[in-house]
């Protein structure tokens, strides 16, 4: 399995334009942000151990309490990290996509997790078995640092969303969630049922129906047969609670700090 990566850059009228890192594993373009732009030595160590896999909707990436067999670097699509109660009720505590890695305990040598991770929007990922990942992290300090920072990002997201669920109205949280989702899948079309949305927002399905109706009536979204279509991102931004911008701002600050210390993500 071969891997390669390059940086494309150019100057226009003396001004530098955006530099984009491109990496390919077995003919598949890497979109996962933890894998993009790794130093050559780390790419040579990591890429041959990664196996490309398709992610289907409702695929379980790991079960709570079960030994973790594989880690996934999500390349496209979307997965939810869920807390599961004894009666089976589920609540989303994290949203994961191409910026992420599943599952986090492996980074610090732990082999189980209390959360459930389920694919909500189909896509694909690069998979590595848990034992290989532990070895890999010893050889890849940049990758390890990025993954540690991702843990902090996910913790920030979980704590912020916990407060959001207590304080903000359902339609504001729905707008926030749809914007976050759009950022990760690069699409205005979000294929999710009211039932899944209720899990993600920590509320009843009937409340989601009312909130989605409000946004639809205002012309911000349309909802048909389990698919939400974002009609106006600008107006969703106006309706979303402050949490969306707050989390983006913090993520941006950390990205700047990470670039300054030589381990950019």
Q: Where are the beta strands (DSSP E) in 97-184?
A: 101-102, 116-129
Q: Is 168 an interacting residue with respect to Zn ion (CB under 5 A)?
A: yes
User: CB neighbours of 92 closer than 8 A, spacing ≥ 6?
Assistant: 80, 81, 82, 161, 199, 200, 201, 202
Q: Which is nearer to Zn ion, 145 or 168 (CB)?
A: 168
Say how many C-beta atoms besides its own lie within 10 A of residue 190's C-beta. 21
Instruction: Tell me the window of 131-139, 197-205, 208-216, 243-251 that interacts with Zn ion (CB under 5 A).
Output: 243-251
Task: Give the one residue of 97, 196, 221, 243 binding Zn ion; rule: CB under 5 A.
Answer: 243
Distance CA 84, CA 89 (A): 6
Q: Is 241 an interacting residue with respect to Zn ion (CB under 5 A)?
A: yes
DSSP code at position 107: G
Measured between alpha carbons, how far is residue 191 from residues 98, 229, 265 in Å?
17, 8, 28
Q: Is 160 an interacting residue with respect to Zn ion (CB under 5 A)?
A: no
Say how many C-beta atoms besides its own lie within 10 A of residue 98's C-beta. 23
CB of 21 to Zn ion, least distance (A): 33
CB of 63 to Zn ion, least distance (A): 29
186-225 footprint of Zn ion as x/- string (CB under 5 A)? ----------------------------------------
Q: Which is nearer to Zn ion, 8 or 167 (CB)?
A: 167
Task: Give the one residue of 82, 164, 228, 247 binding Zn ion; rule: CB under 5 A.
Answer: 164
User: CB neighbours of 83 closer than 8 A, spacing ≥ 6?
Assistant: 90, 91, 93, 114, 115, 116
Q: Is 158 an interacting residue with respect to Zn ion (CB under 5 A)?
A: no
CB of 207 to Zn ion, least distance (A): 15
Q: Which is nearer to Zn ion, 1 or 163 (CB)?
A: 163
Q: Which is nearer to Zn ion, 208 or 243 (CB)?
A: 243
Q: Is 170 an interacting residue with respect to Zn ion (CB under 5 A)?
A: no
Distance CA 154, CA 152 (A): 5
By CB under 5 A, the count of residues binding Zn ion is 4
CB of 228 to Zn ion, least distance (A): 18
First-last CA distance in the chain: 24
Which letter, b or e, does each residue of 17-31 get, where b requires 16 or more Cβ atoms within 10 Å of its Cβ? eeeeeebebeeeebb
Q: Is 118 an interacting residue with respect to Zn ion (CB under 5 A)?
A: no
CB of 37 to Zn ion, least distance (A): 32
Binding site for Zn ion (CB under 5 A): 164, 168, 241, 243
């Amino acid at each position: 399995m071969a891997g390669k990566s390059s940086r494309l850059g150019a100057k226009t009228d003396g001004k530098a334009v955006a530099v984009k890192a491109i990496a390919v594993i077995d003919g598949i373009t890497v979109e996962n942000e933890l894998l993009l732009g790794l130093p050559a030595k780390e790419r040579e160590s990591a890429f041959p151990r990664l196996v490309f896999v398709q992610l289907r909707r409702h695929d379980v990436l790991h079960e709570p309490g079960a030994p973790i067999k594989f880690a996934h670097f999500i390349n496209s699509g979307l997965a939810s990290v869920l807390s599961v109660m004894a009666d089976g009720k589920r609540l989303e505590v994290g949203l994961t996509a191409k910026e992420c890695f599943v599952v986090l305990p492996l980074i610090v040598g732990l082999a189980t997790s209390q959360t459930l991770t389920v694919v909500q929007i189909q896509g694909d990922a690069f998979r590595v078995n848990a034992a290989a990942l532990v070895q890999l992290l010893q050889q890849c300090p940049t990758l390890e640092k990025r993954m540690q920072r991702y843990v902090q990002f996910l913790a920030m997201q979980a704590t912020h969303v916990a407060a959001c669920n207590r304080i903000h109205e359902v339609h504001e949280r729905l707008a926030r969630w749809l914007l976050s989702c759009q950022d990760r899948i690069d699409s205005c079309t979000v294929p999710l049922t009211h039932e899944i949305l209720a899990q993600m927002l920590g509320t009843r399905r009937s409340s989601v129906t009312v909130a989605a109706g409000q946004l639809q009536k205002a012309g911000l979204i349309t909802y048909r047969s389990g698919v939400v279509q974002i009609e106006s991102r600008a107006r969703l931004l106006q309706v979303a609670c402050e949490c969306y911008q707050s989390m983006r701002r913090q993520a941006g600050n950390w990205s700047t700090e990470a670039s300054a210390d030589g381990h950019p993500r």
